[in-house]
Amino acid sequence: MLEDDFIKERQNIRQKMLKFSRAINQGKPLDDDLRDEISSDDILRRRFKKKTPNKFLEELD
């Protein structure tokens, strides 16, 4: 059961990261739901900061 929860959470994080990167690559503004999730989720914030510095994360701080 614990492994299933871990896999689901991992897939959820991947989906959020994919949604974020698509929005950045296409130059589209992020929807409010994703912006709120990123600003409140420490795991996502750390992953995005590792990838590349960008203006969106600076706006959240």
Domains identified in the chain, total number: 1
Question: CA-to-CA distance for 8 and 11, rounded, in angstroms?
Answer: 5
Q: In this predicted structure, what is the pLDDT of residue 59?
A: 57
Residue 16, both tokens: 């959020």
Domain hosting 46: range is: 2-60
Q: In this predicted structure, what is the pLDDT of residue 53?
A: 56
Crossing angle of helices 2-26 and 32-40, in 10° steps, is: 120
Exposure letters 18-44 (e unless 16+ CB within 10 A, then b): ebbeebbeeeeeeeeeebebbeeeeeb
The pTM of the whole model exceeds 0.75: no
List the chain residues with pLDDT less than 50.
Answer: none
